[in-house]
Chain A
Amino acid sequence: MARSNNLHSVAAIFDTPNKIIKAAEKVRDEGYNKFDVNTPYPLHGMDKAMGLSSSKVGFVTLFCGLFGGSFILLFMWWTLAKNYQLFIGGKPFFALPAFIPITFEITVLIGAVSTFIALIAVFFKLPFNNHPLHDTDYMKTVSVDKYGIYITTEDPKFDKEKIISLFKSLGAVSTDLIYLPKQEKFSMFNLKFVLFLIFVAAGTSGSTYLLLNKLMYITPFDWMEFQEKYTPQETSLFFGDRRSMRTPVDGTVAKGFIPYPYKGIANPTEVLSNPTIPTEDLLKMGKKKYLTFCSPCHGNFAEGDSRLNGQFPNGPTLHSDKIIKYSDGMLYHIITNGQNAMPAYDLQITRHERWAIVDYIRVLQRAKNAKNSDLVEIKKESTTNGQ
C-alpha cells in the first residue's frame, strides 16, 4: 500500500498482557476516546480497561430469531391451513406439534445468519481491506504475539509528541507512526465500474432465470417417464390411419363373453332356466345388487314405491300376480333386455348377479305374500332349534 504523508495514528507495542491492560487503562483515564487495542487473542478484562460497554450482538439474535420463528409458523399456517388445504395423516390442517420442529430450525437459522451478517457488516464494518493499519509492521507484530495500542488523529486530544512520551512511560517496546494510504480517486461512472455493474446485473438475472425456469424443469434421464409404448389416443406413425388404437377384427369376442340368445326380443316365447341354487351368500349378494340397481324405481321391498318422487316413471310393484307368475327366466330376460321404460341392465350387472337378483325378488315375493301355513313352519323350526 502506498502511503501518504498524512498521519493516521500513533501506535505502540507492548510485550506482556499486564502492561497492555495498564496502558489501556491509562489511555482511557487520560481522556482519549479514539483509540483501540490490538491483541492476537481476546484478553480478559480488556473491555473493562478500555471502558467498553457490553456487546449488543445478543439483541440482534433475539429479535431476528423471534421474527424468523413467528414468520415460518405463520407461513406454514397460511400454506397448509389456508392457501391449499390438504388432509394429511388424520392431522388437523394447523397441526401445531408437527410445526414446532421447523419453527425451531428457522428460528435458529434466521437468528444465526442475521447475527453473522450484523456482526460482520454492522458491528465490525468489514470487509475493510484498505484500513491504514493493514500491511504495517505494527499489524504484523500484533497478529503474532505482541499487544498493540494506537490513538488516531481524530481524537480531540491528539498530540503526537505527548502520546509518544505517554506510551514510552508505560513501558512500550516500540512506538510507531502510521500514515494514511494515498487517496485513490474513484468515479462512479468509469467504464470498468459500469461494466462490472452490468455484468453483475446480467449474471444475477440470468442465473435466476436459468434456475427457476430451466434448471428446475430439466429431466436428465427420462427413460422411465417416456417408455417405448403407445399411450391411449396417441398418433401412430406405423398404421395408415395414424391411429395407435386399432378396431378389433370382425367377430372378435371379449374375453369371458357369453352371448344372450334372446337379446332384443320383446316377448320371447322361451327363456333360460335358472341355473343357480339360492344359497344364503347368493341371496345376500342379490339383496345388495337389488338395493343398488332396482330399488330406486321398484322400492326397497319391490312394492313399486319409488324413491324418485315422480321425476321418473314409477316402476310397477313386483308383487302383482302377473309378475309372481313369471318364470325366473322371464325376470332374467327383463333385467337383461329391459322392458317398456326400463332400460337393459346387462352392461351394469353381471350374469351371475342378475340371477342373484332374480332369486332375491323371489324371496321378497314370498315374504310379502306370507300365509298362515308359514307360521306353522316357523314354529316347527324354532322348536327344533330349541328357542
Chain B
Amino acid sequence: MANNDSGYIKKVLPSKIGKIGLILFIIGAVTGLYGYIFDPSRAVFSYLTSFWFLLSIAVGSLLLVAIEYAASATWSTPFRRMSEFLASSIPLLIILVIPLLLSIQYLFVWSHTDVVANDHMLQAKSVFLNTPFFSVRVIVILLIWSLFYYLIIRNSRQQDNSGDQALTKNNIKLSIIFIPLFAISLTLQSIDWIMSLETKWFSTMFGVYLFAGATCSALAALAFISVLLKEKGYFHPKITKDHFYSLGTLMFVFICFWGYIAFSQYMLIWYGNLPEETFWFMQRWEGGWKFVSLFIIFGHFIVPFATLLSHPSKTNLKKLKFISIWILAMHFIDLYWLIMPSMHGNGLHYSFSWMDISFLAASVGIIIFMFNKMFERYNLIPVKDPKLQRGLDFHL
C-alpha cells in the first residue's frame, strides 16, 4: 500500500489501540445497559449527552472535510484523512439513535399526550413536535449525513488508487451541496434533541451555537490525534510546525466564534429579560449549576483563548495536545450543561450518575475503535490528491 510519490509509508498502529477502544465500548455499553434496566429515565439523559458528543465530533469532522474541499484549502490536505476517519461513525449513528427513539417518552414532555392535552402552547407546537414526525426527521437527516459521508469518502478513497483528478472535482461539488444541507440539518437536530427538551424555550441562535461547539470539538479531536500520531512518528515527516500553527489558529478562531455566539445568546436574553426566555438560563444558574456555568465560561473560552493566543503556543505540540483534549472535555461538559438541567421536565431531579461516565466511555471507545479500523484499512494521507504536494510543502 506504500506510495512513494508523496514519501508516505503506511504503518499500522499497535494492536492494543483497537483493543482499548473495544474494551472501553464494551464496559461502557454493559454498564450503561445495566443502568438502563435499573433507571431508564436517568440513563436516557446520559445516553443523549454521549450520543451528541459522538454525533458532533463525527458530523463536525465531515464538515471539516467538506470545507477542505469547498475552500480548496491546501495546508489541510494531509490532515483530511484523519477527519474522514473520525467521521466514520456517522453510519453507526443510525443504529445508535434507535434506543433514543424507543425511549422518547423519558426525554420529552411533548411526547406525553396527556400533558399536551392540558397545555395550550404544547398543543400549538404539536404539529412539529410529535413522535412520528420527530422520528422521521431524525432518521432522514441521519440518512442524508450517511449518504454524503459515503459519497465523499468513497471518492476520496478511490483517488488513492486511481489518482483521478475528476474525483476531487466531484467532491468539491458534493461538498458545496453538503454544507448548506448541513447547516439546516444540524439546526433541526439541535432543535429536536436539545432545544425541545425544554419545550417552551426558544432561541434563533441555538443551531449556530451547536454548530460552533461541534466544529470546535471536531477540530480538537483532529488536533489531538494528529499531534499524537506526529509524536509517535506515524504521520508524514514533511508535516511541520507551520501545519500545526494553521490547525491551532483554526481552533483558536472557532473557540472565539463559540465564545462570540455563546455571549451574544446569553447577553441578548439577559438584556431582554423576558420570562419566556430567561427561565432556561435561570435553571442553569441554580444550585451547583451556577458553578458549571461559570466553569464553562472559563473552560470553554478563556482557558483555550489564553493558551492559543500567542504564536509559539500554537506550534508547541505539547500545549496543542493538552488544549485539544481540554476542549473535547469542555465540549462534553457543555453538552451536559445543555441537556441535564432539563431533566426536571419529567419530574426528575438532577443528580450525578455513574451512567454519565459509562456512556461517555462507550462513545469514546467507538471513536477509538473506528479510527483504528480505518487506519488499518486505508492510507493516513490522501496519497494521490492533486493538492497534496502543495499541502505538504506548505510554509507560512
A and B: bona fide binding partners: yes
CA of A326 to CA of B162 in the docked complex: distance in angstroms? 115
Chain B nearest CB: distance from A65 CB in Å?
11
The interface residues of chain A lying within 8 Å CB-to-CB of B266 are 97
Residues of B within 8 A of A90 (CB): 273
Q: DSSP majority for the A interface?
A: helix
Kindly supply a per-residue 1/0 record for chain A positions 81-102, scoring 1 wherever the CB is within 8 Å of any chain B CB and 0 otherwise.
0000000001100000110100
- Report whether A97 and B267 are in contact in the complex, using a CB–CB cutoff of 8 Å: yes
Task: Type the 1/0 row for B262-290, where 1 means its CB is closer than 8 Å to any CB of A.
Answer: 01001100110100000000000000000
Most chain B beta-carbon neighbours within 10 Å: one of A58, A90, A97, A100: A97
For B311, give the chain A residue with the smallest CB separation: A58
B contact residues around A97 at 8 Å (CB): 263, 266-267, 270-271
Interchain nearest-CB distance for B76 vs A (Å)? 22
Chain A residues 88-125 with CB under 8 Å of chain B are 90-91, 97-98, 100
Tell which of B267, B273, B310, B311 touches A100, judged by Cβ atoms closer than 8 Å: B267
Asked whether, in the complex, the Cβ of A98 is within 8 Å of the Cβ of B271, the reply is yes
Whether B267 pairs with A98 at a CB distance below 8 angstroms is yes
Q: B310 — which chain A residues lie within 8 A by C-beta?
A: 58
Residues 16-65 of A at the B interface (beta carbon under 8 Å)? 58
Docked Cα-Cα span, A90 to B271, in Å, equals 9
Number of A residues contacting the other chain (C-beta, 8 Å)? 6
Q: Which residues of A contact B267 (CB under 8 A)?
A: 97-98, 100
Q: How far is the CA of A98 from the CA of B310 in the complex (A)?
A: 28
Q: Which residues of A contact B273 (CB under 8 A)?
A: 90
**Chain B interface bracket (under 10, 10 to 19, 20 to 34, 35 or more):** under 10
The CA of A100 and the CA of B263, in the complex, are separated in Å by: 9
Cα A281 to Cα B97 in complex, Å, equals 64
B270 — which chain A residues lie within 8 A by C-beta? 97
Report A262-317 residues with CB < 8 Å from chain B CB: none
**Least CB distance, B248 to chain A, in whole angstroms:** 16
Q: How far is the CA of A91 from the CA of B267 in the complex (A)?
A: 12
Chain A contacts for B263, CB-based, 8 A: 97, 100
> How far apart are the CA atoms of A228 and B263 in the complex, in Å?
52
Q: Which residues of B contact A98 (CB under 8 A)?
A: 267, 271
CB distance from A115 to the nearest CB of B (A): 15
The residue in chain B whose Cβ has the minimal distance to the Cβ of A97 is: B267
* Nearest chain A CB to B298 CB, angstrom units: 14
Complex interface residues of chain B between 313 and 357 (CB less than 8 A to chain A): none
Q: From B273, which residue of chain A is reached at the shortest CB distance? A: A90
Q: How far is the CA of A98 from the CA of B266 in the complex (A)?
A: 11
A90 to B273 Cα, complex, angstroms: 9
What residues of A have a CB within 8 angstroms of the CB of B311 in the complex?
58
Which A residues are in CB contact (< 8 Å) with B271? 91, 97-98
Closest Cβ–Cβ distance, residue A6 to chain B (whole Å): 43
0/1 interface trace, chain B 251-265, chain A, CB 8 Å (1 if under):
000000000000100
Minimum CB–CB distance from B339 to chain A (whole Å) comes to 24
**Chain B contacts for A58, CB-based, 8 A:** 310-311
The distance in angstroms between the C-alpha atoms of A91 and B310, with both chains bound, is 36
The distance from the CB of A105 to the nearest CB of chain B, in whole angstroms, is 14
Closest to B270 in A: A97
Residues of B within 8 Å of A91, CB to CB, are 271
8 A Cβ contacts from B288-322 to A? 310-311
In angstroms, Cα B267 to Cα A97, docked, is: 6
Chain B residues contacting A100 (CB-CB under 8 Å) are 263, 267
Q: Which residue of A lies closest to B312 (CB)?
A: A54
Chain B proximity of A73: nearest CB distance (Å): 15
Closest to B395 in A: A44
Closest Cβ of chain B to A233, distance in Å, is 43
CB distance from B77 to the nearest CB of A (A): 22
How distant is the Cα of A367 from the Cα of B170 in the complex, in angstroms? 93
Closest A-chain residue to B310, C-beta based? A58
Some 13 contacts from A to B, beta carbons below 8 A apart, are A58-B310, A58-B311, A90-B273, A91-B271, A97-B263, A97-B266, A97-B267, A97-B270, A97-B271, A98-B267, A98-B271, A100-B263, A100-B267
Residues of B within 8 A of A (CB): 263, 266-267, 270-271, 273, 310-311
| Given A90-B273, A91-B271, A97-B263; 10 other pairs, CB 8 A cutoff | A58-B310, A58-B311, A97-B266, A97-B267, A97-B270, A97-B271, A98-B267, A98-B271, A100-B263, A100-B267
